[in-house]
Structure 1
Amino acid sequence: MPLATTGELIAAARQNNRAVAAFNVITLEHAEAIATGAEQAGADAILQISENAVKFHGGSLTAIAAAAKAVAGTSRARLSLHLDHVVSEDLLKRAHAEGFSSVMFDASKMTYAENVKATAEAVRWGHERGIWVEAELGKVGGKEGEPPLDAHAPGVRTDPDEARAYVEATGVDALAVAVGSSHAMTERTAALDHELIAALQRAVPVPLVLHGSSGVPDAEIREAVRSGMLKINVGTALNTAFTGAVRAFLEAHPSAVDPRKYLVPAREAMAGTVAHFLRQLEG
């Protein structure tokens, strides 16, 4: 199916009273699993490639983006391509040429004033090229290389009044907010602040994005969608499924050397995880 745009998928989710999930692509197997899981669930999905994934591929965006686009083009599911957690201005400005319809520009480590200035410039640049731009306000911790962050600590969560002012000042198309989740969680124990999600949904006119959804239980995700979340980001859960399947295969077959033998169950495990998350997103 032709590559969709993230804006189209978000608009369709909003119209149909549901959310759309964005899954992190690290390898070709990730992209294939996301497409298969979306087909199994009969749902749209977003293929998202992070700046950290680009670093893993030696700083080259071209090859992994081309692979993701090729997978989307042969899938029966509607899929879009999103560049996630972009800090580098150089990487941001490669998005359009590589076929991305959306970017998450991450200036969350800056002061509020610096964040507004940098994000507004990224939005201006993106909108001139038809790119949908997401940004983050608050502190969704847990990224590799960051110090530990308590998702419930004072000052971490996104303030609705500040969110309203931020959206007006930057012109962003979507806002990632801190409401109790954290990146890189391997256990699904996060407790979300649903009253805050609802308040943020009332405060800003743009879609809300939940980062760190791998650590959020199913019931919490469903409630988050009902409260107003429109984009649900999932990464670590795919890696947990992938690694668990590889580990189980190699423990059972210690003499195996052909990577295809263990990548098949790994890809299947990720596809099942994708389908499971997508089935939670009805509003």
Structure 2
Amino acid sequence: MPLTTTGELVAAARDAGHGVPAFNIITLEHAEAIAAGAEAAGAPAVLQISENAVRFHGGRLTPIAAATAAVARASSAPLSLHLDHVVSPELLRSAHGLGFSSVMFDASKMSYTDNVRATAEAVRWAHEHGIWIEAELGRVGGKEGEKVGGKEGEAPLDAHAPGVRTDPDEAVAYVTDTGVDALAVAVGSSHAMTERTAALDHGLIGRLRAAVAVPLVLHGSSGVPDEELRQAVASGMVKINVGTALNTAFTGAARAHLDAHPEVVDPRKYLAPGRDAMAATVRRFLEVVGG
């Protein structure tokens, strides 16, 4: 079916009182697995490509974006294309015309004042080109090469340190001054967690939902247990970002196949079980948060 838009998927989920997962793509197998999992669950999903993934593909967005869009259009599930954790204004502008309906512009490592300025500029350009913009306030942390919650020049912090989480009053001013369409908030999760042990601040999620009019986004959801995710959606989270859980499933299945069949050299033999494992993970997340 034709690509849908992230804004439509998020608005529909919010109106229905459930969440919509957004899954990170690194390879074609990721895209195929997300589509297969969404079809099996009978639910919509967001397919997102991060700036880190673009860097992995030699800094070229077009090939992986075109492949992902083709997979999404061939699927019977409602799927949208999202560009994730963009720090480069040039990459932001390259999203136009490649099927992306939304971008997460990430100025969270900047000071608050610079974050507002850079994000407002990104929003102005994006809205002129019909692109929905998500941004981050607070520090989720945990991405490769980044200390959890620590800004450059500061001592490392963790996801529970003072000053890391998103302040509701600051969130009101930030949304007003930037014009963002959705807000990623720091409420106790962290990127790149391989164990599902994160404990979220559900009271803070509720206060943020009451304070701002735009949908809330949870990053680092791979490390959040199912019941915590369900409660997060009930408390006010809408877009639920998942990346590491797919990679954990993929790598585990591929490694198991290679360990059992050390003679294998055809990558299709271990990519297939890896893709199937990711599809099962996608379906589970969709069933947990997707209503």
Q: Normalized against structure 2, the TM-score is what?
A: 0.96
Percent identical pairs in the alignment equals 76
Match of 1:229 in 2: 237
Residues 222, 282 of structure 1: 8 Å contact kept: no
Maintained 8 Å contact 2:148/2:190: no
State the AA in 1 paired with 2:281: T
Matches within 5 A, 1:168-187: 168-187=176-195
Q: Deviations over 1:87-127 (max 9, x none)?
A: 00110010112121000000000000000000000000000
Q: What does residue 25 of structure 1 align with?
A: 25
Matched to 1:129, the amino acid is: H
Distance 2:244 2:2 in 1: 27
1:53 deviates by: 0.2
Write the deviation string for residues 24-63 of structure 1: whole angstroms up to 9, x where unpaired: 0100000000000001111100000000000000000000
2:97 corresponding residue in structure 1: 97
Instruction: Report if the CA contact (8 A) 1:106-1:136 is conserved.
Output: yes
- Which secondary structure does the structure 2 equivalent of 1:262 belong to? helix
Structure 1 gaps, min length 5: none
Q: Who is 1:147 aligned against? A: 147
State the distance in 1 between where 2:234 and 2:164 align.
23
- Pairwise mapping of residues 216-255 of structure 1 onto structure 2 (< 5 A)? 216-255=224-263
The aligned runs of 1:17-56 (5 Å cut-off) are 17-56=17-56
Work out the number of aligned pairs and report it: 283
State whether residues 51 and 85 of structure 1, in contact with CA within 8 Å, keep that contact through their aligned partners in structure 2. Answer: yes
For 2:206, the equivalent position in structure 1 comes to: 198
Letter in 2 for 1:76: S
* Equivalent residue number for residue 155 of structure 2: none
User: Equivalents in 2 of 1:266, 1:245: separation in Å?
Assistant: 5
Partner of 2:134: 134
1:3-22 alignment runs, 5 A limit: 3-22=3-22
Residue identity opposite 1:245 in structure 2: A
Give 2:172's match in structure 1, choosing from 164, 167, 172. 164
Equivalent residue for 2:277? 269
Report the 3-state secondary structure (helix = DSSP H, G, I; strand = E; otherwise coil) of the residue aligned with 1:272: helix
Q: Does 1:278 align with 2:286?
A: yes
CA distance in 2, matches of 1:69, 1:109: 30
Which of the residues 257, 265, 276 maps onto 1:257?
265
Q: How far apart, CA to CA, are the structure 2 residues paired with 1:231 and 1:170?
A: 19
Instruction: Tell whether the 8 Å contact from 1:190 to 1:216 is kept in structure 2 after alignment.
Output: yes
**Per-residue CA distance 1:114-141 (angstroms, 9 max, x = gap):** 0000000000000001100000000001
Read off the aligned partner of 1:100 and give its amino acid letter.
Answer: F
Aligned partner of 1:66 in structure 2 is 66
Q: Structure 1 residue 282: deviation in Å? A: 4.5
Q: Is the 8 A contact 1:22 1:234 kept in 2?
A: yes
Relative to structure 1, is the Cα distance of residues 282 and 50 closer, same or farther in structure 2, using a 3 angstrom cutoff? closer
With over 3 angstroms needed to count, the CA separation of the structure-2 counterparts of 1:148 and 1:166, relative to structure 1, is: closer
Q: Which residue of 2 aligns with 1:106?
A: 106
Consecutive unaligned residues of structure 2, counting only runs of 5 or more, are: 150-157
CA contact (8 A) 2:21 2:45 kept: yes
Alpha-carbon separation, structure 2, partners of 1:17 and 1:163: 22
Deviation at 1:246, TM superposition (A): 0.5
Q: Distance in 2 between matches of 1:169 and 1:75?
A: 38
Structure 1: how far apart are the matches of 2:36 and 2:233? 23
Structure 1 residues 171, 273: CA separation in 2 closer, same or farther (over 3 Å shift)? same
